[in-house]
Structure 1
Amino acid sequence: MNKKIITLLSTFLISGALLMLNSCGNTTKESNKTETKKTVYASDVIPFFDHWKLILGDGSNAGIANNFENKDFFYSTDDWVVFKSPNGGDTHGTSNNTRTELAQIKKWYPATANDKLNATLKVMNVSNTGDARVAASYSVVVGQIHSADKHENEPLKIFYKKFPDHTKGSVFWHYEINTAGDDNSGRWDFSSAVWGNDFSVVGTDVNTYPEEPKDGIDLGEEFSYEIEVKDGIMRLKFTSEGHETKTFTKNLIESEYTTTADIPKQTQDLFVPIGQDGVEREKAYAGEGCFFKLGCYNQTNGKSPEVNKNWCSGAETHGGDIQKQYKDGNYAEVWFKEASIFISDAAVSNEGYFTKND
């Protein structure tokens, strides 16, 4: 074989080898490009979802939310679990308000309870429309205790509320009476301020807001709550860096509101004028199964304030179009960083609540 042929053959072999190597390299690059990032679910961030069913902002029950996400209402981002709910849309049960919220799958009885819920969160958005005279406008409930029985009232609701022109919002909690008798239309809430104002501080007209609270909480600022119910007593603790720690106690099995003379002034000013002037059964929530809720229960809605000046916000809902509401800020959004639940051995199934309300 002459030298010319040998040289050509060598060049051909080397070129072929380089081509093969380059081809392998391109295949690897293309393979890397098509690799998909592993989804991090909410249950990877806070692994306690076995204890809850998830209600979404379209009124549906998603069940136990392990390895689950819905980009409109519930998903994870970085090290947070996101709950999101529009001002208007389909609701769960008889509520006027949308919610993306966990509801405990067991219930417990206050007199024998030893049950706890802790959470660390930040509120990222509340509605930017609503009637400033309506107490519920611009607010979201981030934690609850709910009764599963009879009137299904709420011995605890933890609120965050911020008026549109303010930087700081308020954190407060409510006790709702467990109304005596069969007529629950006279039920009312009593509101206690944690940081900032309570529920009763409202605007003087539709778009005029009260003074901004000096000790309030910003959107995106972390705070924590701890709820413990033991032997009939509810104990609450609220903490946030740079703010005074606040604690409260409330008896859930002996009422302090059994006569009209017991109705506090806040209630006389806020609820009695609209006919919510009931009294509470002597044993309050004793004998009723109660359960925790956690998430984003939007308190702003599109119903006319003429229906109820405390709960009907007259906010923008775009006829229930969720994406339009999200685009112009008419929604609530809450991020949870940590949460834990302790359930006593005496707790029993709460399936009856879901059967009734789903």
Structure 2
Amino acid sequence: MKINSRLISTLFSCSIFLTMMNCSAPSKKAEENEAEEKVYASNVIPFFDHWNLILGDGSNAGPAIDFEHENFFFTASDEAGDWVVFKAPNSGDTHGTSNNTRTELAQLKKWSPMTNAKLTATLKVMNVSATGDARVAATHSVVVGQIHSADGHENEPLKIFFKKFPGHTKGSVFWHYEINTEGDDNSGRWDYSTAVWGHDFSVVGSDANTYPEEPEDGIELGEIFSYEIEVKDGMMYLTFESEGHETKTFTKNLIESAYTTTEDIPEQTQNLFVPIGQGGVERPEAYADEGLFFKLGCYNQTNGKSPEVNQIWCSGAETYGGDIQKQYETGNYAEVWFKEASIQVSDSAISNEGYFIKND
């Protein structure tokens, strides 16, 4: 029987083609599966349509749905599950008029203090700056949640901080109320700091490299805690919880000021802010007629500006000329992981329109 050589050649070529197709199919399928399995922040905490995301390079990423940035905003997993990671260096391009970098969400909807509004979060702080002047109150700290005003002076009735000095195992959680300064001049504004676990903001080092005593009841890096912020009928209610720590609750009136005269200025403020010329008083109605909005994320409070400029907010930390990767390699950044978060605002909110904030 004579075999047709051309037929054999054709069959052989077809065999090779089919083999190649079969080999390439799993690779393509694997790529498709990998794409399907990718976990974005919006898969972990599905509420990103309520926010715009500001990144650590000063850019506005908008609503962070199916979005990540390898330097500032991504997901990570550990034994507890998936987390949303917010990361910001000590120095980089900042947003608005702020001296500090942030990777932070800003709520799109602003609301009245008379509105029912609530923000909850479960998180852990993974890093704060390794360098900075210990005498500067903001050094080695990060803000993980805020209420910001969209009107008037655009001040902040709430900032929630974590702060830990180098060499300490435990850090402090505290919250701030910033006065809504009377009159057109906002230069006299100041914060009052209240400790949750550990110290408040005013506990600083005796010199640039000498730290205060470590707090006995503090929170460690990587230790999970949660906060709940609720505003209704002009009052702010705060709840802080962490396993192994006492649950703490606080209440603050947002529509009637407690600081309308110089005699009302607390001792903490007299010692911390008044010496640098920030000793203003608050308007009697506080934040009563202003639109407010929530913020959540990693607002790094450590920067490279000289403490001679401002002994409270200018940290004198390492920035390596703004080289972000070098800052990350040397621990000169802030990093916060969020496991859970939720937001609720009643239908009586002032506006559903997008609002881009001043970000002080």
TM-score by length of 2: 0.91
Partner Cα distance (2:31, 2:236) in 1? 53
Partner Cα distance (2:192, 2:336) in 1? 24
The answer for the alignment partner of 1:128 in structure 2 is 130
Greater Cα radius of gyration, structure 1 or 2: 1
The answer for the alignment partner of 1:87 in structure 2 is 90
The answer for the alignment partner of 1:220 in structure 2 is 222
Q: State whether structure 2 residue 108 is matched by structure 1 residue 105.
A: yes
Q: What are the equivalent positions in structure 2 for 1:3-82 lying under 5 Å apart?
A: 26-27=23-24, 30-31=27-28, 37-38=34-35, 39-78=38-77, 79-82=82-85
Partner Cα distance (1:273, 1:71) in 2? 42
The answer for the alignment partner of 1:326 in structure 2 is 328
User: Displacement of 1:311 after TM fit?
Assistant: 0.5
- Name the SS of the counterpart of 1:326 in structure 2: helix
Question: What value does the CA root-mean-square deviation take over the aligned residues?
Answer: 2.5
- Name the SS of the counterpart of 2:106 in structure 1: strand
* Residues 242 and 311 of structure 1, relative CA distance in 2, 3 Å threshold: same
User: Displacement of 1:321 after TM fit?
Assistant: 1.3
Deviates most, 250-259 or 22-31: 22-31
Q: What are the equivalent positions in structure 2 for 1:299-314 lying under 5 Å apart?
A: 299-314=301-316
The answer for the alignment partner of 2:342 in structure 1 is 340
Q: What are the equivalent positions in structure 2 for 1:145-294 lying under 5 Å apart?
A: 145-294=147-296
* Residues 23 and 91 of structure 1, relative CA distance in 2, 3 Å threshold: closer
CA offsets, 1:248-294, max 9 Å, x none? Answer: 00000000000000000000011111110000000000000000000
Partner Cα distance (2:300, 2:178) in 1? 17
Partner Cα distance (2:359, 2:129) in 1? 26
* Amino-acid identity (%): 76
Aligned length: 350
Partner Cα distance (2:357, 2:167) in 1? 42
CA offsets, 1:145-199, max 9 Å, x none? Answer: 0000111100000000000110111000000000001110100000000000000
The answer for the alignment partner of 2:7 in structure 1 is none
* Residues 171 and 355 of structure 1, relative CA distance in 2, 3 Å threshold: closer
Deviates most, 139-148 or 20-29: 20-29
Amino acid of the structure 1 residue aligned with 2:34: K
Partner Cα distance (2:46, 2:30) in 1? 31
* Residues 17 and 95 of structure 1, relative CA distance in 2, 3 Å threshold: closer
Residues 140 and 298 in structure 1, CA contact (< 8 A), matched pair in contact too: yes
User: Displacement of 1:93 after TM fit?
Assistant: 1.1
Partner Cα distance (2:198, 2:337) in 1? 21
User: Displacement of 1:348 after TM fit?
Assistant: 2.9
Partner Cα distance (1:275, 1:195) in 2? 29
Unaligned residue ranges in structure 2 (runs of 5+): 4-11
Unaligned residue ranges in structure 1 (runs of 5+): 7-14
TM-score by length of 1: 0.91
